[in-house]
Amino acid sequence: MYNKGLYNDWVPKPIQLLLIVLLLAVVMPIGGVYTGNISYLVSGTGAMTEYFMWANYATTIGMGACMPIVLRMKLRFKVRDKMAVLLVLLGLLSYINATATQPMVFIFTALCTGFLKMMVTIELFLPLMMMIGNRGMFYGLFYTFVLVMNQVIAYYAVVVSIHYNWQHFYVIIGVLCFILALIHWIFMHDKYFALKVPLHYIDWMSILLFISAFMFSAYVFSFGKQQDWLNSKNIMNASIAAFVSFALLVVRQFTLKRPYLSFKIFTRNNVQHGLFMLSWLGMFLGTTTLQNTFAVGVLGYDQQTNAGLNMLMIPGIVLAGIVAVFWFKKEIPLKMFIFSGFSAMMGYALVMYFSMVLEFNYENWYLPMFLKGYGTCSLFISVWFYTLDKLEMEDMLAAIGLVLVWRTFLSVGFFAAIYSWFQYRFQITAIGDLAVYIDGMTVSPQTLAANMKTLQLNAVIISGKKIFGYIIWAGFGVLLYVITHHFGRERFRYLRFIRVLSGKSVIARRRLRERKKLLEEIKDAAGPAV
């Protein structure tokens, strides 16, 4: 017997929905590290920040590596057995993090956590989509919930780390996973989803090459600034290893009967333009590094206050989710929704450009963070919907891992690394420019220390303003691109007029050719009939 649902028939529908929401609330934000308490991990383990940035990227890479095989894993095991085992494993990985002292352990557990949590997530997608029906409305509700939970979890990770220590939060997440495993062992049915399929068709070598290519890339993005980019032998070797691994991965797919990845969808127009827009979304999301530098380094916020800034995004995220549900319910074309998302991100960049001063108050964050929340959520929903629109399920699952890694890791990681490097270079230039105002007449030995601090803070602000300025210029180009893109509609409509060229109508000649071709096709079809 097969069962397409998740729970036993005797479980009431409201209870089933509640259990799904609880599972989403715990599993979706789970990761190897939490961005809010990275500073506490650094102080607790004595490792560099770059290791934990690498671990943060590893979670996304693990999710992307699992995506092409999630359907086969779903068909191979019974739902209850698989869900219980996965939740127990996620709890154990959290416990390992709570007791770890070496940064490479966090990187390994983050990769495994991303891989395992994607198998859990796919079990939740199908019943939720069946309940909601409309894929766009599902994206609107799902991404709104997930993005809100990410901000809440990141904030409370900092709160727990302050009041207790960073290990306690991992213990809490592990205990929640164990409790959910027990609950789902009781309420889930013990049947297969559909016809059982074997696992030996999975090409594990391709999975290893996928992980290798992007983990080496993550090393480059994380340690590039610290090791001076191309002047470092490690960075050069990692870049070569990433390129070779990806090249081997691509070549291997053309030699397999059942390839791990499919590159067929990347010839589709909407996929190409969707990836292009996701790249520019990464340009705006990468500004988080500039925001953290300004909030912590210039304004002197503590970690809890800085994490609270991301909580200010929640009203904008919720508004974007409401607008998305309305938009897809009314089946309004996507162009203006996407345009509103990029406009909100532009508004965030503009406000930050004009407001980055030493006198910046906490209340000044309300507007830019609201705009950032709306822009992030609306673009996650709309661009992701447009990119994967009208794709067959098999083709989509075989390539969505690459798209996921592109959206959440490659584009954001690339721009974050670029901003970090430019911020460093621009600070050096700014200090040199400001140094001309320092001499024995304006700075006395008694005021030297205070003036040097002000000089350094102003250099940080100048470098941040410069980068935001370049982002704004690029943003105008993105808005122009979005407003002129056809989004699946006819790009041009020919006016009904006759243009005469050399005494004959161009349109008339085209119609004659089409008529002649049609008559020939009718004749060819009629011949065998006669």
Tell me: the pLDDT tens digits for 499-511?
444 444 555 566 5
Among candidate residues 168, 194, 220, the one where a domain is terminated: 194
Residue 529 lies in a domain: no
Among candidate residues 256, 271, 291, the one where a domain is terminated: 256
Using a 10 angstrom Cβ sphere, with 0-12 exposed, 13-18 middle and 19 or more buried, the burial of residue 430 is buried
Instruction: Specify the pLDDT at position 2.
Output: 61
The count of domains in the chain is 4
Indicate whether 93 and 13 sit together in one domain.
Answer: yes
Tokens 């590039």 belong to 224
In angstroms, the first-to-last Cα distance of the chain is 54
| DSSP-derived secondary structure letter, 35 | G
Phi, then psi, of 51 in degrees rounded to 5: -60, -40
Residue 57 lies in a domain: yes
Residue 457 lies in a domain: yes
Indicate whether 11 and 90 sit together in one domain.
Answer: yes
Residue 18 lies in a domain: yes
Residue 96 lies in a domain: yes
Indicate whether 97 and 190 sit together in one domain.
Answer: yes
Indicate whether 213 and 133 sit together in one domain.
Answer: no
Q: By the 8 A CB rule, do 423 and 467 touch?
A: yes
**pTM summary value:** 0.84
- Report residues of the chain scoring pLDDT below 70: 1-4, 194, 393-395, 398, 437-451, 488-530
**Residues with Cβ < 8 Å from 504, sequence gap 6 or more?**
none
Residue 530 lies in a domain: no
User: And the tokens for 453?
Assistant: 């601090």
Q: Of 162, 172, 175, 209, nearest to 65 (Cα)?
A: 209
Indicate whether 495 and 424 sit together in one domain.
Answer: no
Residue 1 lies in a domain: yes
Scored b (16 or more CB within 10 A) or e, 55-92 reads bbbbbbbbbbbbbbbbbebbebbbbbebbbebbbbbbe
Helix (H) or strand (E) holding 505: strand 504-505
| DSSP-derived secondary structure letter, 423 | H
User: And the tokens for 351?
Assistant: 């406000």
Indicate whether 269 and 395 sit together in one domain.
Answer: yes
Q: Which ranges in 293-365 belong to alpha helices (H)? A: 303-311, 314-329, 335-355
Residue 527 lies in a domain: no
Domain membership of residue 2 as a residue range: 1-194
188 SS3 class: strand
- CATH number for the domain spanning 384: value is 1.20.1250.20
CA distances from 221 to 40, 56, 276 (A): 22, 12, 20
Helix (H) or strand (E) holding 421: helix 411-434
| Count of beta carbons in the 10 Å neighbourhood of residue 477 | 10
Q: Of 414, 462, 408, nearest to 434 (Cα)?
A: 462
- Separation of CA 322 from chain center: 20
Distance CA 306, CA 438 (A): 33
Indicate whether 303 and 246 sit together in one domain.
Answer: no
Indicate whether 324 and 252 sit together in one domain.
Answer: no
| The pairing of beta strand 504-505 with beta strand 500-501 | antiparallel
Q: By the 8 A CB rule, do 394 and 340 touch?
A: no
Indicate whether 174 and 220 sit together in one domain.
Answer: no
Instruction: Specify the pLDDT at position 492.
Output: 40
Indicate whether 273 and 190 sit together in one domain.
Answer: no
Indicate whether 382 and 460 sit together in one domain.
Answer: yes
Instruction: Specify the pLDDT at position 447.
Output: 62
Indicate whether 331 and 472 sit together in one domain.
Answer: yes
**Residues with Cβ < 8 Å from 462, sequence gap 6 or more?**
426, 427, 430
